[in-house]
Structures are given as structure tokens and as C-alpha cells.
């Protein structure tokens, strides 16, 4: 029987081989691989759009129902929370979608406003309401429920069952003692590693492009390959430093800094922007979002708009789940199930809504001409919008800083997850393994940026394709958690005695109602 180290090396080498193979194929046969990837992803999103949307909708209902149930009082472990509520929220927000919000905060509402679904007229007030409501949908409850439905059972396994953090351990309630030793378990961990490494490499590449575009637009810095190489090198060095200092120190303080800068950007932009319109947009869009949430969450029609946007977003959030969910589980020790559910769903969603309300309204208020210029180059969209307002250059400078810090925190969390997957679930991966996974995604992103115009999009496409079967793992997460809760907490609400069944670790969670 292979040892834990051999199983870890298998996952590491297999995932790495897949990633390098795709990169090499993309360099040698870029058009053929790109066409095959786009065709496959088009088939998945068109044919299984109902499944993507339906699964994400189900995850939201499941999480909210669990948080309101008698299981909500269960504490994940017998220790107090490891991080304060503010720091915990900062970590969730930074890792989950911080850099994506900066990229799409103005670009997505403006794109939907000028290019709405038929029969709405582009640039109309009706299109503006549509644009804001759909932005809320794509960045609201669904992505966080996707993360939570995987992160919560992992946290329960880690802190209540004293199992390691491998995603394959979701199989434990159904295949006792199999987990990472089974072929299915190894496959799950390989897919998780591939999706995580591909996602973080894509995020770095797109982030560097936006940073470089922003510095070029605001400060006149040349947008050249050399500048991108230097940026990747600096970011990678900072990620390594943060990784070496550890979760408690490096990422904790950096996430807090992220939150401070992001709040400062929001407040300053609100003050210099159309404040009354922003408030009106926020309240009216929140009402429309709640009113139409059921219909919008399940909407699928022959219109390609739904496939290109809503279904694509659900697929992309599922591709990010192998990274975000284990990280959220890692930082949630000591939280109750109710705190986990509502903290991981409601608070980040509200932050996203505020962000879109501020920058979407600022862009729409600037008029169709500015909006058209902004979305002509998505990496510079936010900077184009800010350029038309007082203190625009100052706010843009803060945006560039927060792009750096958001990515460093995301990459730091990814190195932890990749290290765990590559070490057969060791909760504290070695420094060497963390450094390896700090450098490799950066190298992949750099190669793809410099060698292929669409290389990053190709890697993103492949990550989404690989994550399609991972949707079944997310669904498995719901059944895993309910099986564990049923075993540990009978209907009476009193925890069972410690069990030595191979699928059950010693029970270390507080009883319901404590």
C-alpha cells in the first residue's frame, strides 16, 4: 500500500503534468487547443446550464436552511474562534473574490447597460436596472453558497472529526477509510489541485494585466512584457514572504489591510461620486434582486446571454471552489455552523452589492460615451470611470495598491491549499512545498501571457472544464455533511458518544444549544 508521502507525490505530479501539458500544447498548437477548449466549454454551458444554475440555487437554499436549523448552534471545534470577526470577514472577502470585484466592479454593469438582453434598449434606464440586478446576482449569494457547501463539511471534518483537509475525505461517510487511498479520492484531489493552480495562475495573469493597464492609463507607465515580468516577480516575492511568515501573521495583517483600503476606496468614491444616485441604486437594486431572485437564479432560455454570463459565472465559481472552500474552512475554526453560513453568505454578498452600487452607478452616471470607452478595454474600465471624477487619480492609485494586496492574499491561500493537496492532507505543509506552489503558478501565468495572446483565457477555460465533474463533489458535500450531522447528533439534539467506527473520528464539537 502506498505511503502518505507517495500519495501526495502522485497528486502533485499528476496535477503538475496536466497543467504543464496544457501550457505546452497551448504554445505549440494554440489555435487547435483553443478551439477544442471553447467547443467543449460551449457544449457544457449550453447543455448543462440548467444543472449549473439549479445546483447553485440548491446550494443557497441548503446553506440557509442549515443555518436556521437546530444544527446552527454546533461549534466547529472546541476552541474559541481563531480570528476576530472583522479579520475573518476580511479573509473571506479577500480570498473569495476581492480581485475579481476590482476588475468587474465597473466593467460588468456598464457592459450589461450598453448590451442588455433583448428587447431592452442599450443605454436606457430599464437596461441600467437590468445591469445592476444581474451584477448583484452573479456576485451575490450563489458564489458564496458554492464555497460554503464545500467549506462547511471540510471544516466539520477538520475540527469536529479531526480528519485532514483533503477534499477527498468527503467520501469518508460513504467509503470508510478510503478517502485519499482510493482511486476516486486521488482523482478528486488531482482535479482540485488542477483547478486551484489554473485558477490562481489565471487570476495572477489578469491581475497583472489590469495593474499594468491602470498604471499606464493613470501614470503613463509603459505596458510592455518587461514591466509585466517585473510585476510578476515582485508579487511572487511578496507571496513567498507572506507564505513563509505563516497564516497567523502574514495573511492576517494583509487581509486586514485589504479591507481598510477597500473601505477607503468605497467611502471616497461615494463622497466624490453621485452620492444620492448611488443610494437610490443600491436600495432599488437590492429590492429588485430579492424580488426576482428565484426567477433569475433559475432562468435559462434560448437567449445566449444567459449562457455567456449567468451560466458561465456559476461554472467559474465552481472552478474556484477547490481553492476558496478549503481556505474558508481553514480560517473558520471555532465558529458555529450558523456563523459560518451567514458570515460566509450574507456579509461578503453585502460587500459586493455596495461595491457594484458605487462603481456601477458612477459609470452609468458618466454617460454612454464614457461607458463605451470603459468597456472597450476591460482592464482599464474602472480607471476610465474614475478619471471623470474629482480625486480620480488618487482613487486609482489606491485601486492599484489593493489589486496587489488582494492578489497576494488570494495566492497565499492558494499555496496553502495546494500544499495540503500535495502533502496528502498535512495541515501544515512544508515551507518548501509552499514556496514551490508560490512560484509555479506565477511561472505559468508569465509563460501564458508572453507566449500566447489568449493563453490565460485558455487556462481559465480548461479549469472550468475540469471543474464540471467537480460539481458532483459539491453535491456530495451536502450529503456528506448531513450524514455526519445525523451520526453525531440524533433527533434528540444530544451528541452521540465518541465512536471508533472507521468513518467517524472522535467527536470534538459542542452539542446543539450549548
The verdict on residue 415 lying in a domain is yes
The verdict on residue 497 lying in a domain is no
- Domain count of the fold of the chain: 1
pTM (predicted TM-score): 0.88
CA 311 from centre of chain: 16
pLDDT for res 403: 86
Q: Is 373 exposed, middle or buried (0-12, 13-18, 19+ CB in 10 A)?
A: middle
Q: Cell numbers of 242, please?
A: 507572506
pLDDT of 327-343, one tens digit each?
889 889 999 999 999 99
Q: Which of 158, 147, 160 is nearest to 474 (CA)?
A: 147
Scanning 29-70, the segments in alpha helix (DSSP H) are 30-47, 49-68
Cα–Cα distance measured from residue 343 to residue 335, given in angstroms and rounded to the nearest whole number:
10
Scanning 220-336, the segments in alpha helix (DSSP H) are 225-245, 252-272, 275-298, 304-306, 312-330
Which residues in the chain come in under a pLDDT of 70? 1-8, 176-181, 246-250, 301-302, 425, 427, 451-456, 459, 491-514
The CATH number for 12's domain is 1.20.1740
Q: Is 52 exposed, middle or buried (0-12, 13-18, 19+ CB in 10 A)?
A: buried
The verdict on residue 514 lying in a domain is no
Distance between first and last Cα of the chain:
43
The verdict on residue 498 lying in a domain is no
The verdict on residue 501 lying in a domain is no
pLDDT for res 452: 58
CA 125 from centre of chain: 31
Q: Is the bond preceding 119 in cis, omega lying within 30 degrees of 0?
A: yes
Cα–Cα distance measured from residue 18 to residue 113, given in angstroms and rounded to the nearest whole number:
39
The neighbouring-strand residues paired with 75 are: 336
Cα–Cα distance measured from residue 514 to residue 510, given in angstroms and rounded to the nearest whole number:
7
Q: Is 79 exposed, middle or buried (0-12, 13-18, 19+ CB in 10 A)?
A: exposed
pLDDT for res 418: 83
Cα–Cα distance measured from residue 130 to residue 125, given in angstroms and rounded to the nearest whole number:
9
Q: Cell numbers of 145, please?
A: 453558497
The verdict on residue 226 lying in a domain is yes
CB 193 within 8 A of CB 418: yes
pLDDT for res 493: 47
Beta-carbon count within 10 A of 95 CB: 29
Domain boundaries, position 9:
4-488
The verdict on residue 496 lying in a domain is no
Cα–Cα distance measured from residue 408 to residue 414, given in angstroms and rounded to the nearest whole number:
10
Q: Cell numbers of 229, please?
A: 515580468
The verdict on residue 418 lying in a domain is yes
Q: Which of 353, 397, 441 is nearest to 139 (CA)?
A: 353
Cα–Cα distance measured from residue 155 to residue 309, given in angstroms and rounded to the nearest whole number:
31
Distances in whole angstroms, Cα of residue 263 to Cα of each of 139, 269, 350:
18, 10, 13
Q: Which of 176, 239, 182, 270 is nearest to 415 (CA)?
A: 239
Cα–Cα distance measured from residue 426 to residue 431, given in angstroms and rounded to the nearest whole number:
12
Amino acid at each position: 500500500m502506498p505511503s502518505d508521502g507517495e500519495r501526495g507525490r502522485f497528486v502533485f505530479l499528476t496535477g503538475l503534468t496536466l497543467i504543464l501539458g496544457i501550457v505546452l500544447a497551448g504554445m505549440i498548437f494554440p489555435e487547435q487547443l483553443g478551439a477544442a477548449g471553447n467547443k467543449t466549454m460551449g457544449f457544457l454551458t449550453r447543455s448543462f446550464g440548467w444543472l449549473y444554475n439549479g445546483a447553485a440555487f440548491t446550494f443557497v437554499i441548503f446553506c440557509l436552511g442549515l443555518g436556521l436549523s437546530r444544527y446552527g448552534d454546533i461549534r466547529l471545534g472546541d476552541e474559541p474562534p481563531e480570528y476576530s470577526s472583522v479579520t475573518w470577514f476580511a479573509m473571506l472577502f479577500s480570498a473569495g473574490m476581492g480581485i475579481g470585484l476590482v476588475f468587474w466592479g465597473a466593467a460588468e454593469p456598464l457592459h450589461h447597460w450598453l448590451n442588455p438582453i433583448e428587447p431592452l434598449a442599450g443605454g436606457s434606464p430599464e437596461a441600467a436596472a437590468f445591469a445592476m440586478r444581474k451584477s448583484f446576482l452573479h456576485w451575490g449569494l450563489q458564489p458564496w453558497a458554492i464555497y460554503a457547501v464545500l467549506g462547511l463539511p471540510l471544516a466539520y471534518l477538520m475540527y469536529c472529526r479531526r480528519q485532514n483537509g483533503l477534499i477527498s475525505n468527503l467520501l469518508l461517510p460513504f467509503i470508510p477509510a478510503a478517502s485519499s487511498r482510493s482511486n476516486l479520492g486521488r482523482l478528486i484531489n488531482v482535479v482540485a489541485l488542477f483547478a486551484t493552480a489554473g485558477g490562481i495562475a489565471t487570476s495572477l495573469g489578469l491581475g497583472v494585466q489590469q495593474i499594468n493597464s491602470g498604471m499606464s492609463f493613470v501614470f503613463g507607465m509603459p505596458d510592455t512584457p518587461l514591466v509585466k515580468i517585473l510585476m510578476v516577480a515582485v508579487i511572487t516575492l511578496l507571496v513567498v514572504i507572506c507564505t513563509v511568515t505563516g497564516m497567523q501573521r502574514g495573511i492576517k495583517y494583509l487581509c486586514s489591510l485589504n479591507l481598510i483600503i477597500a473601505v477607503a476606496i468605497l467611502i471616497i468614491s461615494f463622497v466624490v461620486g453621485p452620492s444620492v444616485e448611488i443610494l437610490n441604486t443600491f436600495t432599488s437594486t437590492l429590492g429588485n434582486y430579492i424580488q426576482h431572485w428565484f426567477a433569475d437564479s433559475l432562468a435559462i432560455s434560448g437567449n445566449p446571454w444567459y449562457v455567456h454570463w449567468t451560466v458561465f459565472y456559476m461554472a467559474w465559481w465552481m472552478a474556484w471552489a477547490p481553492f476558496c472552500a478549503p481556505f474558508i474552512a481553514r480560517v473558520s475554526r471555532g465558529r458555529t455552523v450558523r456563523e459560518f453560513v451567514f458570515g460566509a453568505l450574507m456579509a461578503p454578498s453585502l460587500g459586493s452589492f455596495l461595491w457594484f452600487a458605487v462603481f456601477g452607478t458612477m459609470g452609468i452616471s458618466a454617460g454612454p460615451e464614457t461607458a463605451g470607452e470603459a468597456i472597450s478595454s476591460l482592464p482599464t474600465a474602472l480607471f476610465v470611470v474614475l478619471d471623470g471624477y474629482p480625486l480620480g487619480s488618487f482613487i486609482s492609485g489606491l485601486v492599484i495598491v489593493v489589486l496587489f494586496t488582494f492578489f497576494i492574499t488570494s495566492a497565499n491561500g492558494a499555496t496553502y491549499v495546494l500544499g495540503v493537496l500535495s502533502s496528502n492532507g498535512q495541515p501544515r505543509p512544508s515551507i518548501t512545498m509552499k514556496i514551490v506552489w508560490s512560484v509555479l503558478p506565477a511561472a505559468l501565468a508569465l509563460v501564458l501571457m508572453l507566449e500566447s495572446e489568449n493563453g490565460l483565457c485558455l487556462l481559465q477555460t480548461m479549469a472550468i472544464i475540469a471543474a464540471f465533474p467537480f460539481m458532483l463533489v459539491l453535491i456530495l458535500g451536502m450529503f456528506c455533511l448531513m450524514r455526519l450531522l445525523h451520526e453525531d447528533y440524533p433527533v434528540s439534539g444530544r451528541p452521540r458518544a465518541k465512536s471508533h467506527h472507521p468513518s467517524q473520528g472522535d467527536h470534538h464539537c459542542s452539542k446543539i444549544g450549548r
